[in-house]
Structure 1
Amino acid sequence: MNLKNILRNLGPGPLVAAAFIGPGTVTVCTLAGANFGFSLIWAMVLSIVATVILQEISGRIGIITGSDLSALLRNQTERPVFRIFSMILVLMAIVLGNAAYESGNISGANLGLAFYWEAPTLQISNHELQSGNFLLGIFSFLLLWTGSFKTLERILVALVILMSLAFMITAALTKPDLSSLLSGFIPSWNEEEMPTLVALIGTTVVPYNLFLYASLVNKQWKSPSDLPSMRRDISISVILGGVVSMAIVIVGASNTSSEITSAIDVSKGLESVFGSFAGYMMGFGLLAAGLTSALTAPLAAGFVVCGIMGWDQEIKSTPMRITMAVIVGLGLFFSSLGIKPVQLITLAQLANGILLPLISGWIIWIAAQHGVLGKYKNTPLATGIAIFIWLITLVLGVKSVGTVFGWF
């Protein structure tokens, strides 16, 4: 199968890659490389495997049941207390979390844009309006408001491909030592690396992506015979996303900046060694990462909110448009006015820390039920592997909650 056919047969998988490679991922991977070199590359491999397994389950549930995860959660009648608690938790985590992340997505895209054009800062009363954030937020909002799903999908796929090329070309320019790079695939860690290790896995295994993919597969595939296509779609997309994340780690390890706090610092360090081209490539990668995540975060929130409430999930429906507008609007508000929503992000971290093991455990349980998936349910071996992945998400969740309360 040639590249053209592969691209033609890809489904919504690239949107999952677009969702988890945002400015947060770029920054975490940059700092992992800058602080620890290639030693945590193996953590990216683990996160890729975990993400493929969980996303395959969510995609399989979507195709076999013909329903998305939020609708399944709403229609669960056996455990009404669990159902109500889960619905409230999911709504809180998705709306709160995605609004906070949208702020970071827009701000990150603006940092990338600054490599090419420094948008003016406007003084309004006692606040500074970041016009670049405002313009990017409005651009994202208009694409979501007016674009059909297929148009949106094509834009995101194009951005993901260009972003991937930008980061991989930049990584190649650094000419990493091959033996040191390969040694990074061997698992090893120490106490100092643990927070970064948890952050690397946590930026890839994202709770709302499980809802997003289960919702999107129904727009592309309807029959169990499409399962191989779905598996190929999500595997190629997540592996590509993982390779991009590894490329960012490699770039981070090649920094020459005296102080590294973000991807921008590494870009400046690259310019001093490789010229402005590397910096421009890194800047474009950050711009694309911010834009793709700025589109997928409101889209995912719309699917989840409308699914749980039983509203129309068509992208042009009024409930979807209102939900997406709320997420983009909140993100735009915080980012344009330069407000750092620390409390909002802390609450989002707490909610998602609880949500990740809860939702991953729930879909693993559904995947093992013959009454739901019939002959397409997980085998005992697949369930065992999935439970191991769930234990990883549990550790991530405990770590996330513990960070909020200062336990760690």
Structure 2
Amino acid sequence: MSTVDNREPVSVDDATEANSAGARGPRVWLRNIAFLGPAFVAAIAYVDPGNVAANITAGARYGFLLVWVLVLANLIAMLIQYQSAKLGIVTGTSLPTLLGRRLGTRSRRAFWLQAEIVAIATDLAEVLGGAIALQLLFGLPLVVGGVIVGVVSMLLLLLQNPQQQRVFERVILGLLAIIVIGFVAGLFVNPPPAGEVLGGLIPRLQGPETVLLAASMLGATVMPHAIYVHSALVIDRFGVSKTSVRKRRLIRITRWDVVIALIIAGTVNIALLLLAATNLLGIEGTDTIEGAYDAVSNALGHGMATIFAIGLLASGLAATSVGSTAGAAIMGGLLHKRIPLFVRRVVTVIPALIVLAIGVDPTWALVVSQVVLSFGIPFALIPLGRLTGDRELMGEFVDRWPLRVAAGVSAVLIVILNLTLIGLVLTGSA
């Protein structure tokens, strides 16, 4: 009997993959394209309403100053989403489950608690954003809009199971297309000045508030729950791979999946900041989503503002479905308990409805929620780097030293930014 690595039997599928591993041509490309998808689902987390609030606020207040933050954050996101997906493919186990197996009971519960706080902050941003969009489009009260977003997201969750994973991916891809059109279209009507965009690529900050915004933009772009869920999404999509041949092929395809999906997400994020910096800078009240909508309507026309609001609604609906999926994966892996996604959706939507009911400024609540997410990043990023760098666990697929160095530097930068933010908050400077 033929064998591949560790004397595992070679199936017909494995043999086919081995024969086509080095092949090129239309059929191979089409077959590989069919495997794309999990990264696009994870990428929805990178274009949620929290991104809209953080990026519009940054552009409206500081112009092109913080473009470099988004570029850096997107590069970090590509790195860690690739690591997360590779971990799932190689081990056949999600990141939360691996952590749950390695941590003691108290540590597991503490780790779950911080991850759950991050998940709640994520839900807060997504429900608030969807509620704001419904108010802009139809004049609905924010609380009513929040309830509608929660209900629609529950319906989308009916598609989220391993048997219907591809259907769920197609729905999310459709919403992603709406998001891209909604947030990028305005740039074609009034393009930003190229010189100022290039100037925004120079790393610099201006005062404590830009540190807060940078942390918010980082938290909105590098999403902790997306790190956790990507390792689970590839397992749901591809199953557990038993041979090195199949793992190698899936890792290669996943690399393209991540790069393409996050280039799209990064383009949307940068477009939001450029839209605000070009059309909203210096205009009173445009550092809120509602103010930005009015200003876009005045500057680019009501039709363009409506497209913007539709994109915001699509981002809220898509992201809240992915967020609920991530929360379930986190709880199942760390606490070894599973609750129905519908129950989880009801529980996690309550804090957002409370915020809407008591009258907290929704845009500011969105920005603060992204800061909370930024604090959760190291808790996902550092264990991920250690696991993908563990030769005993990853075998021949262990991270090479350039990837490990890049991941380590990313983690250090994020921790430094968060510590700086804590210092500013404690001293009352932020």
- The one-letter code matched in structure 2 to 1:394 is V
Q: CA separation in 2, counterparts of 1:7 and 1:358?
A: 33
Shift, 1:299, TM fit: 1.2
Per-residue deviation, residues 196-245 of structure 1 (Å, max 9, x unmatched): 22222221112111111011011223331210111111111112111100
Larger radius of gyration: 2
Q: CA separation in 2, counterparts of 1:189 and 1:341?
A: 25
Judge conservation of contact 1:63–1:218 (CA < 8 Å) in 2: yes
Q: CA separation in 2, counterparts of 1:86 and 1:191?
A: 37
Per-residue deviation, residues 116-172 of structure 1 (Å, max 9, x unmatched): 3122x4xxxxxxx82222122111122214654333322211111110121111122
Uncovered stretches (5+) of structure 2, i.e. residues with no partner: 1-25
TM-score between both structures, scaled by the size of structure 2:
0.81
Q: CA separation in 1, counterparts of 2:77 and 2:61?
A: 25
State the match for 1:134 in structure 2: 147
Match status 1:249 vs 2:249: no
State the match for 1:371 in structure 2: 392
Determine what percentage of the aligned residue pairs are the same residue. Answer: 21
Q: CA separation in 2, counterparts of 1:382 and 1:201?
A: 20
Judge conservation of contact 1:55–1:213 (CA < 8 Å) in 2: yes
Change (3 A) 1:319 1:267: closer
Shift, 1:195, TM fit: 2.4
State the match for 2:17 in structure 1: none
State the match for 1:189 in structure 2: 205
Q: CA separation in 2, counterparts of 1:345 and 1:164?
A: 20
Judge conservation of contact 2:129–2:316 (CA < 8 Å) in 1: yes
State the match for 1:180 in structure 2: 196
Greater displacement, 331-340 / 250-259? 331-340
Q: CA separation in 1, counterparts of 2:352 and 2:299?
A: 35
- The one-letter code matched in structure 2 to 1:132 is G
State the match for 1:337 in structure 2: 357
Judge conservation of contact 2:159–2:167 (CA < 8 Å) in 1: no
Change (3 A) 1:72 1:169: same
Match status 1:198 vs 2:215: yes
State the match for 2:227 in structure 1: 210
Greater displacement, 221-230 / 296-305? 221-230
Match status 1:362 vs 2:383: yes
Greater displacement, 160-169 / 302-311? 302-311
- The one-letter code matched in structure 1 to 2:357 is L
Q: CA separation in 1, counterparts of 2:261 and 2:414?
A: 21
Uncovered stretches (5+) of structure 1, i.e. residues with no partner: 122-128, 313-317
Judge conservation of contact 1:202–1:396 (CA < 8 Å) in 2: no
Q: CA separation in 1, counterparts of 2:157 and 2:38?
A: 16
Judge conservation of contact 1:255–1:266 (CA < 8 Å) in 2: no
| Cα RMSD after superposing both structures | 3.0
Q: CA separation in 2, counterparts of 1:249 and 1:241?
A: 13
Match status 1:102 vs 2:102: no
Pairs aligned (count): 388
SS in 1 for 2:294: helix
Q: CA separation in 1, counterparts of 2:36 and 2:378?
A: 28
Shift, 1:36, TM fit: 1.6
State the match for 1:90 in structure 2: 111
